[in-house]
Amino acid sequence: NAGVTQTPKFQVLKTGQSMTLQCAQDMNHNSMYWYRQDPGMGLRLIYYSASEGTTDKGEVPNGYNVSRLNKREFSLRLESAAPSQTSVYFCASSEIGYSNTEAFFGQGTRLTVV
């Protein structure tokens, strides 16, 4: 069982470069999420997709865009990377949204912007 798969695992970008973080789940979940994790800040929601075809902003969406490509895949794009976006990024999925179901997390992408 693969669960939630994120690529890449590590990435170093120069300021101003763009990149896309990929996420795929094989559990037939409806909802998918992107979080960033910074020391002392916990996990903060960037964007989420309650179901295929919908996306919504979370707590910290500035500087990011997302695409729910299909039910399995949810990508996160940094158009012009900034040092403040250095973080660990987690993708997660859940069956029908967070209210009463657990979320499954990918292994994370460690991004450094220099």
Partner 1 sequence: QQPVQSPQAVILREGEDAVINCSSSKALYSVHWYRQKHGEAPVFLMILLKGGEQKGHDKISASFNEKKQQSSLYLTASQLSYSGTYFCGTVTNTGNQFYFGTGTSLTVIP
Decide whether 54 or 70 has the Cβ nearer to partner 1.
54
- In our burial notation (b when 16+ CB lie closer than 10 A, e otherwise), range 10-24 reads ebebeeeeeeebbbb
What CA–CA distance (Å, rounded) separates 57 from 50? 11
Q: Residue 62 in contact with residue 85, Cβ under 8 Å?
A: no
Reported residue count of the chain is 114
Give the residue with the Cβ less far from partner 1, 63 or 97: 97
Which of 5, 30, 67, 107 forms a contact with partner 1 (CB under 8 A)? 107
> Is 53 near partner 1 (CB under 8 A)?
no
Query: CB-wise, 59 or 79, nearer to partner 1?
Result: 59
Sign of CA dihedral 68, 43, 98, 105: positive
Provide the residue type at 33 as one letter: Y
Q: How far is the CB of 4 from partner 1 (least distance, A)?
A: 8
Site string for partner 1, 4-43 (x = CB under 8 A): -------------------------------x----xxxx
CB of 74 or CB of 90, closer to partner 1: 90
